[in-house]
Structure 1
């Protein structure tokens, strides 16, 4: 039994129904200092119902608990602190990981789909660092949810429709070159887009022309559609190349244009339910608690993002029958998704409660916001190449005779960028610093990868295999071993928390803590020395390697066997 479940079960028995096991489990904490215990229960929650001071409640509970499953149970102020039986916990954790391997912590498939709207770069614009966050957060969440039993459906809702295409068509017709675009598609389209937006700031007729061209596009004008299809096809070639570099795949590439023929149904449903009103020539849905209504159609008849997203939500519910639908989209769109859910609720769709916006903060450079429109971007493809190059340089210096250096450098360089993004809590954002990302020191992906590779080297030297592991003389009761065991035991709870909070950073930080704990142990312990503890030490190293590799996998990062 998981030790937290054991603690919850023990407390529930003495609380006589005041809290359920699941309620207790959610309240359990890990003390900041190991000498204070392994698991702590805060008694504050019971103060109101029991009409007693939390420290007195904690003292009473500690006296009532008598279980051979714990080394001791003590009250420390308002907390009940549990000291686990180390021998039993060490044996259980190591035996389980030796048996399960990479499947450790995996939950049975529950058959439920979880739709994840992610990445969604704009056609005819380069794939920049700004698009990285949605891509790697969404990909990691898919892996995390699969680990706990869901079937993820990864959807790349491409930005392949909208007024920006009207703007791009105006730019191309005004000063574009077909030959230049065919030779270097995305770079040339970006130049056109930046140039036309600068001109539009001083020439209002450009904005009018862009709106006219987009309306032509929506109405099926041959020239507009031909140019749009060309821009789209050229963009997908570059996007596919970058997704291959990142190791990210999708179940659906249906972008905004896919819903062109599905929006009329939305408007019809809204009309049938008498939810549409007119406001200044536009068609809207009034929403309580919102300063502005949901704009369904503009006065010129053009549709908006929300109309398209309503159609997409309904299509996805019908197609995938999702248990949850996640939208991994920047924090600046939070108002949009609140409106989306509110309109769906007014339409009578209770499953709107199963839709979650997973927002994230911005990536900046030298503290400045990045903008494609302003021409201030960090392009992802050359950045990945530079990261791989830097990784290669460090590998050449540390291990010049390493086999498969090119593949390892790719895993380290690309993994470094992904890990750095994911270790930051979603809403915080971060300032882009490639040198810091690819460092083998500090809280980085290469640091965790190197800890894993070091473990594999130890296991190779010992010719260790989990099938032959002998744990009959198991001890490992020293403090440094115990810190690793507690972290290993917490892996499934860590994955569950990452899923519950839509926060891959939980796993990234966990992997850093585990790598640091092992490196501390390695610095003070001669793992390969022949004595009674050798098998146990190797089993501990193996288990740590398994969980480090699986943690990195859940972040979409490879774990090389050698570095």
Structure 2
């Protein structure tokens, strides 16, 4: 129930829940299979899977010398269950970098057992720490994710409080979108292999590499679109809308979005999408401050620039959506 509450705050859902206890019975079947296939051997009372042939000196222990199964055993059982149930081409484990050896052992064991038709991937990540003394918590020295989320929402509420055009209900909703988005972006915008120091000021900045800055970019673009009356250019973008350096830089950046997404997916590095979006926000604001849209010389140019603004809003919303970050219509 506690996990569900936190995941609900983050807007995260799962298609299937199976805890570690669900694989206790299957662990016995794994042991029988490993023994019958000659993969596991007895060693000083324990049952192990030697992995020297896979270049791993430390064997995987399926059963301890006192007869207990271990989390190694249950992870093997879980993987086999998933393979037999879902028939995946790939199994991706998103777990901290301190478990690298465990997953090398797990994947090597699965291959020795004959489960070779699956691509096994460990997507590891570093640790996140909070600067000492920067955050108080109601539960003592340990900082819980729920507390971090609520603190972020509270701080985001202070930001949106400055907008007199929003009702209290709207402010609460925007604060949740901005606060939760700030936490996700602070994590996903960094290379996942690095340890991250959580910085509230940077995380909630409206003019730096942060979710609120990107969300504000979207809000600005949508504001231009709401005020605009020019129809989408039926004949395509007016070439004059590509002549200014600010326009051309923005158009070229927009064109690179599919490349950034493909590379992020290929390498399991979501920060590549985040970095792309930050660059897009910077290019958009240069455009915003230097290129007239509503006051363009004629309707064709106005419509073409409006189309560029619309493309920026769409790419920003889609890109943040890939990171699990929502965008408000107003801030």
User: Is 1:291–2:57 an aligned residue pair?
Assistant: yes
Cα gap change, 1:271 to 1:451, in 2 (>3 Å): same
Alpha-carbon contact 1:480-1:520 (below 8 Å) kept: yes
Q: Deviations over 1:314-347 (max 9, x none)?
A: 1111111112110000000000000011111111
User: Is 1:541–2:306 an aligned residue pair?
Assistant: no
TM-score (ref. length: structure 1): 0.55
SS of the residue 2:213 aligns to: helix
Cα gap change, 1:245 to 1:525, in 2 (>3 Å): same
Aligned match of 1:253 in 17, 23, 27? 17
SS of the residue 1:426 aligns to: coil
SS of the residue 2:161 aligns to: helix
Shift of 1:542: 0.4
State how far apart, in whole Å, the 1-side matches of 2:132 and 2:252 are: 38
State how far apart, in whole Å, the 2-side matches of 1:305 and 1:465 are: 61
User: Is 1:484–2:274 an aligned residue pair?
Assistant: no
User: Is 1:559–2:324 an aligned residue pair?
Assistant: no
SS of the residue 1:251 aligns to: coil
Pairing 1:272-291 to 2, within 5 Å after superposition:
272-288=36-52, 289-291=55-57
Pairing 1:119-518 to 2, within 5 Å after superposition:
237-288=1-52, 289-352=55-118, 354-366=119-131, 376-397=141-162, 399-403=163-167, 404-463=170-229, 466=232, 471=236, 473-475=238-240, 476-518=242-284
Pairing 1:95-114 to 2, within 5 Å after superposition:
none
TM-score (ref. length: structure 2): 0.92
State how far apart, in whole Å, the 2-side matches of 1:472 and 1:359 are: 43
Q: Deviations over 1:184-242 (max 9, x none)?
A: xxxxxxxxxxxxxxxxxxxxxxxxxxxxxxxxxxxxxxxxxxxxxxxxxxxxx221111
State how far apart, in whole Å, the 2-side matches of 1:367 and 1:508 are: 27
Shift of 1:518: 0.3
What is the RMSD computed on CA atoms of the aligned residues? 1.7
Alpha-carbon contact 2:129-2:196 (below 8 Å) kept: yes
Alpha-carbon contact 2:214-2:316 (below 8 Å) kept: yes
Cα gap change, 1:417 to 1:469, in 2 (>3 Å): farther
Structure showing greater Rg: 1
Alpha-carbon contact 1:389-1:409 (below 8 Å) kept: yes
State how far apart, in whole Å, the 2-side matches of 1:261 and 1:329 are: 24
Alpha-carbon contact 1:422-1:504 (below 8 Å) kept: yes
Q: Which runs of 5+ in 2 are unaligned?
A: 134-139
State how far apart, in whole Å, the 2-side matches of 1:304 and 1:449 are: 45
Q: Deviations over 1:290-312 (max 9, x none)?
A: 22211110011111111111111
Shift of 1:479: 1.6
State how far apart, in whole Å, the 2-side matches of 1:330 and 1:500 are: 19
Q: Which runs of 5+ in 1 are unaligned?
A: 1-236, 369-374
State how far apart, in whole Å, the 1-side matches of 2:282 and 2:236 are: 25
Partner of 2:318: 550
Partner of 1:45: none
Partner of 1:184: none
State how far apart, in whole Å, the 2-side matches of 1:278 and 1:367 are: 48
Runs of 4+ in structure 1 deviating by more than 3 angstroms, as ranges, are 463-466, 468-474
Shift of 1:367: 7.7
Partner of 2:136: none
State how far apart, in whole Å, the 1-side matches of 2:48 and 2:25 are: 20
SS of the residue 1:355 aligns to: strand
State how far apart, in whole Å, the 2-side matches of 1:303 and 1:274 are: 18
Shift of 1:429: 2.1
Shift of 1:464: 5.4
State how far apart, in whole Å, the 1-side matches of 2:142 and 2:219 are: 35
